[in-house]
Amino acid sequence: MNQILIVDDDPGVCLFMEEVITCMGYAATHAKTLKKGLEKASSGHWDIIFLDVRLPDGNGLEAVPEFRKMPSSPEVVILTGEGSADGAAQAIRSGAWDYIEKPVTANAITLPLKHAMEIRQARKAGSAQGLFKRDKIDGDSPELSECLAEAAKAADSDASVLITGESGTGKELFARAIHGNSPRANGPFVVVDCAALPDSLVESVLFGHEKGAFTGATKSRTGLIREADGGTMFLDELGELSPSNQKRFLRVLQERRVRSVGGGREDAIDFRVIAATHQDIDGMVEKGAFRKDLLFRLRGLTIALPPLRDRQGDAQIIAMRSIEKYCTRFGIAVKGFYPEFIEALARHEWPGNVRELVAAVEAAVIHGKNEPLLHPIHLPVHIRANLAQKAVRPPAPPAPLEETTEDAPGAIPGHSQYMQETEKRYLKKVAAAANGAVQEICRLSGLSRAQVYRLIKKHDITL
């Protein structure tokens, strides 16, 4: 039977919703605090979670990503007695299915619940039809799995796709995987480096040219768009397109026809577009640096790739496979590693993401070629320097104000100071409850290992 969890501190709301949900043929139970809700969500299989915003021990809206990461990947429907446009937008961006204002009615519950169940069942049936071939995309974190699920949906359609994410997160790998799993897999995959398109030659590069069309045109050229006929055109670094090139692309996407420079006819071209950028493309639209109409054409589906620091456990998986790959490439036995090596990888924040990690592992294999085990000493100098810098304890922060003085108007701490002190007290309590075990701290707090190390360092906490 489908399982529904209600996280709300109002007994009347819980009783009413359980009655409505039971009448629909589903099983329902409730939790009255955010902590209890997270505990129940992590220990069972749930299809839908109705989540109140204002709970005695926290804000439900901020916990949406945590509930979405639970083993059964439940859909989350937000309940609130104080609805706001910003709250609704935040809920949807966080992955919520819907946003319902109180007082709750039977109709307000049944329709989104019915539709969510239908779509979940359809997704399960669809996933059983075949596996998405991920090729070189490594990792099994919930964050990456969600992106792979979105990529699988994109592969089943012919819609334009926009892939966003920091540099080095694997945007081109995802683009190639979408193409490789799509009906166009046997067609060409043509990469267009938007940052390298010169305005003076862009028409020749994109549309091609006829022999003698201009000085230096000693032979005809097909052009990148014609090369993509029947396949996929990948626009890398979309945000680097100049205004004039944005206009050219908009026309091509609208017409799907091109005329080579010096040519006499237009040809219809059949291609799919996947674009990628590390920039805030919506912010560029607001500033007038990118055409809104072009963005609408390119953003049929959107996949936002998370940075490596937010993908718990993936750095170790990527490192293991990279060690094997480079040992095989260099013709040496696959190496083991000291525990400190993996610990160093977990502590580094990887601003260059997967690309930086893979390059660091390659360097480590080269530097440790004659040793059987890899050690942090084999990592690039800039990474070791960064880790050494983090290991040095900062000066002790000023003593926190006595809590008993907070009521005195002249002794109220600043917001930043108060939040820092509260965060430190919380982390100390969690560390004490976990007996100093980092893995247990991660489980109790919901923080990633990298986040825990940053906070331990930040607040000079000794485990």
- Report whether 3 contacts 44 (CB < 8 A): yes
Residue 34: band (very low, low, confident or very high) from pLDDT cuts 50, 70, 90:
very high
Furthest-apart CA atoms within the chain: distance in Å? 86
**Mean pLDDT, range 164-181, rounded to an integer:** 95
Does residue 214 have a pLDDT over 70?
A: no
The answer to whether residues 302 and 176 belong to one domain is yes
The answer to whether residues 183 and 44 belong to one domain is no
- Highest mean pLDDT among 138-142, 373-377, 434-438 belongs to 373-377
**Mean pLDDT, range 283-293, rounded to an integer:** 93
Number of domains in the chain: 4
**Mean pLDDT, range 173-187, rounded to an integer:** 94
Q: Where are the alpha helices (DSSP H) in 235-313?
A: 243-255, 281-286, 292-298
Mean per-residue pLDDT of the chain: 85
pTM exceeds 0.95, yes or no: no
- Asked if the structure places residue 135 within a domain, the reply is no
Length of the chain in terms of residues written: 463
Last residue of a domain, one of 91, 126, 161: 126
The answer to whether residues 107 and 177 belong to one domain is no
The answer to whether residues 151 and 278 belong to one domain is yes
The answer to whether residues 88 and 237 belong to one domain is no
- Asked if the structure places residue 453 within a domain, the reply is yes
Does residue 209 have a pLDDT over 70?
A: no
Tokens at residue 361, please?
A: 């592992």
Q: Where are the alpha helices (DSSP H) in 44-134?
A: 64-68, 85-93, 106-127
- Asked if the structure places residue 223 within a domain, the reply is yes
- Distance in angstroms between the alpha carbons of the first and the last residue of the chain: 44
CA distance 206 to 226: 8
Range with the lowest mean pLDDT among 94-108, 136-150, 385-399? 385-399
CATH of the domain at 383: 1.10.8.60
Last residue of a domain, one of 99, 126, 153: 126
Q: What is the DSSP letter of 63?
A: G
- Asked if the structure places residue 19 within a domain, the reply is yes
Tokens at residue 424, please?
A: 């430190």
Dihedral pair phi/psi, residue 172, rounded to 5°: -70, -35
Q: In this predicted model, what pLDDT tens digit does every residue of 109-132 receive, in sequence order?
A: 888 888 888 887 766 655 534 478
Pairing of strands 98-101, 267-268: unpaired
The answer to whether residues 287 and 373 belong to one domain is no
The pLDDT value given to residue 242: 87
CA distance 72 to 43: 10
- Asked if the structure places residue 414 within a domain, the reply is yes
Domain of residue 284, residue span: 142-306
CA distance 134 to 141: 14
Kindly list the distances between the CA atom of residue 214 and the CA atoms of 209, 262, 274, in Å, as whole numbers in the listed order: 9, 8, 31
Residues paired with 267 in a beta bridge:
258
- Asked if the structure places residue 346 within a domain, the reply is yes
Last residue of a domain, one of 259, 277, 306: 306
- DSSP track, 400-449: PPPGGGTTSGGGPPPHHHHHHHHHHHHHHHHHHHTTT-HHHHHHHH---H
Hey, what long-range contacts does 198-202 have (CB within 8 A, 24 or more apart)?
A: 199/242, 199/244, 199/245, 202/244, 202/245, 202/248
Q: In this predicted model, what pLDDT tens digit does every residue of 393-406 receive, in sequence order?
A: 666 666 555 554 44
CA distance 235 to 232: 10
The answer to whether residues 299 and 167 belong to one domain is yes
CA distance 36 to 9: 11
The answer to whether residues 296 and 321 belong to one domain is no
Cis (ω within 30 of 0) for the bond into 74? no
Range with the lowest mean pLDDT among 232-241, 279-288, 417-426? 417-426
CA distance 418 to 424: 10
Cα Rg of the chain, angstroms: 27
- Asked if the structure places residue 178 within a domain, the reply is yes
Q: In this predicted model, what pLDDT tens digit does every residue of 322-378 receive, in sequence order?
A: 999 999 999 999 999 999 999 999 999 999 999 999 999 999 999 999 899 999 999
The answer to whether residues 152 and 291 belong to one domain is yes
CATH of the domain at 177: 3.40.50.300
CA distance 381 to 351: 15
The answer to whether residues 440 and 386 belong to one domain is no
CATH of the domain at 56: 3.40.50.2300
* Phi-psi region at 27: left, alpha or beta (left = phi > 0; alpha = psi -120 to 50): beta
The answer to whether residues 161 and 271 belong to one domain is yes
The answer to whether residues 290 and 379 belong to one domain is no
